[in-house]
Structure 1
Amino acid sequence: MRVIGCHGTTRTNAGSICTTKCFLPSGSEKDWLGSGVYFYDNNQEAAYAFCKSVKRIADEDIVVVTAIIDSVFYFNLLEIEHYNLFSESVKRFRERVAKLKNAKCYPKILDGHVLEAICKEILFDFVYAAFNVNNNYKRAETRIVNPNIIDSDYNNVLCVKNVQCILSDTIRG
């Protein structure tokens, strides 16, 4: 799968990325798709809007860096087979936690927790998923969208786990 990734960041970070031709993964399993480098699929406007509304970066300091991400080892949650594996894994995680004596002490099982565990078993380079732009995900058990119900209110997002699949000579800011 080959994707033109759009990563919104600060002017300072963009300068560093373009100079070193390297992205540094960040975050944790508590993030939506787990730890990694997040990109919108060929959507500079969405990357910019995310920086402005979620990261609260000032307009004049937002830069969208683009790069080509290319790999045959990916976990595509828009494919029903991968989505079903994810859904079954979430179910099993919740069942196991519920059986523990101190289950109430455990935090809510998040999408990132499950995807990090799947990544350790399958060893994929990136996760590809649809993000609901109208905030309906906040009421759901998971923010991963069933590929059978995707409509125009979604942006495709990927989380790169292995930065080697980001083609360094294509990084532009």
Structure 2
Amino acid sequence: MYTRRSGLILGFHGCDKSIRDRVVNEKGFMLKKSENDYDWLGHGTYFWENNHERALHFAQELMKNPTSSIKEPAVLGAVIDLGWCLDLLDSKFLKEIKITHDTLCDAYNTFGLKLPKNIVSKNGEMLVRKLDCAVIQATHTLNISAGGKDYDSVRGVFFEGDDLYENAGFKHKNHIQIAIRNQDCIKGFFIPRDF
């Protein structure tokens, strides 16, 4: 009764200016869903919730990678209805994720398979999240096989970056991120105003 998210939110996606402009100006052109095995919220189109600056920094950081397709960093804005959301800031859904994890562990053990792992980098961050991706994807599969409604989106908090100050509980790049699984949740795109 209380788990459906009401209202619209703003999401921001860091990308190349040419992609941003095509999404806004070309009818039918959409962002591709990310389907990497390390996507921490599972497969979907990723947005930073109400965080234009973080989306821009992401695009700027990505541009430094020689294999990146980003030549001119930009931000695409989106008006989003989360719909039926697997919200990892809600206790109900955290319990569901835990049950899925335990079920996945049992299945992997039964078949003698190695469970995917999250990888912690030298600076202590967990940016490659293969286990989390597998758990989220399995949650979707188990939900549907049990006759549940398919989740439209996934929402979670990500603690990233260096401590904001000594002994801080906050990081420089903390953010809420959403992965849109159902493209109908995106009600419109816009080019954010410059400040």
TM value normalised by structure 1: 0.77
1:172 paired with 2:178, answer: no
Higher relative contact order (CA 8 A, sep 6+): 1
What amino acid does structure 1 have at the position aligned with 2:157? A
Match of 1:3 in 2: 9
Q: Give 1:15 shift.
A: 1.4
Given that 1:69 and 1:165 are in contact with CA atoms closer than 8 Å, whether structure 2 keeps it comes out as: yes
Q: Distance in 1 between matches of 2:91 and 2:154?
A: 14
Q: Distance in 2 between matches of 1:30 and 1:83?
A: 19
Q: Distance in 2 between matches of 1:163 and 1:93?
A: 28
Q: Distance in 2 between matches of 1:35 and 1:12?
A: 23
1:119 paired with 2:131, answer: no
Q: Give 1:117 shift.
A: 2.4
Q: Residues 134-145 of structure 1: matches in 2 within 5 Å?
A: 134=161
Q: Distance in 2 between matches of 1:6 and 1:155?
A: 12
Q: How much identity, in percent, do the aligned residues show?
A: 23
Change (3 A) 1:107 1:152: closer
Q: Give 1:35 shift.
A: 1.4
Change (3 A) 1:49 1:58: farther
Q: Distance in 2 between matches of 1:82 and 1:111?
A: 14
1:34 paired with 2:42, answer: yes
1:49 paired with 2:57, answer: yes
Q: Give 1:94 shift.
A: 1.6
Larger radius of gyration: 2
Given that 1:23 and 1:163 are in contact with CA atoms closer than 8 Å, whether structure 2 keeps it comes out as: no
Q: Give 1:135 shift.
A: 7.0
What SS does the corresponding residue of 2:33 show, helix, strand or coil? Answer: coil
| Higher helix proportion | 1
Deviations 1:33-92 (A, max 9, x none): 111110001101111122223463699711111111114311100001101111221122
Given that 2:16 and 2:71 are in contact with CA atoms closer than 8 Å, whether structure 1 keeps it comes out as: no
Q: Distance in 2 between matches of 1:160 and 1:65?
A: 14
What SS does the corresponding residue of 1:167 show, helix, strand or coil? Answer: strand
Match of 1:142 in 2: none
Given that 2:63 and 2:73 are in contact with CA atoms closer than 8 Å, whether structure 1 keeps it comes out as: no
Q: CA RMSD in A?
A: 2.5
* Number of residue pairs matched by the alignment: 155
Structure 2: which 5+ residue stretches go unaligned? Answer: 118-129, 164-168
Structure 1: which 5+ residue stretches go unaligned? Answer: 137-150
Instruction: Between 85-94 and 57-66, report the one with greater CA deviation.
Output: 57-66
Match of 1:86 in 2: 97
Change (3 A) 1:26 1:58: closer
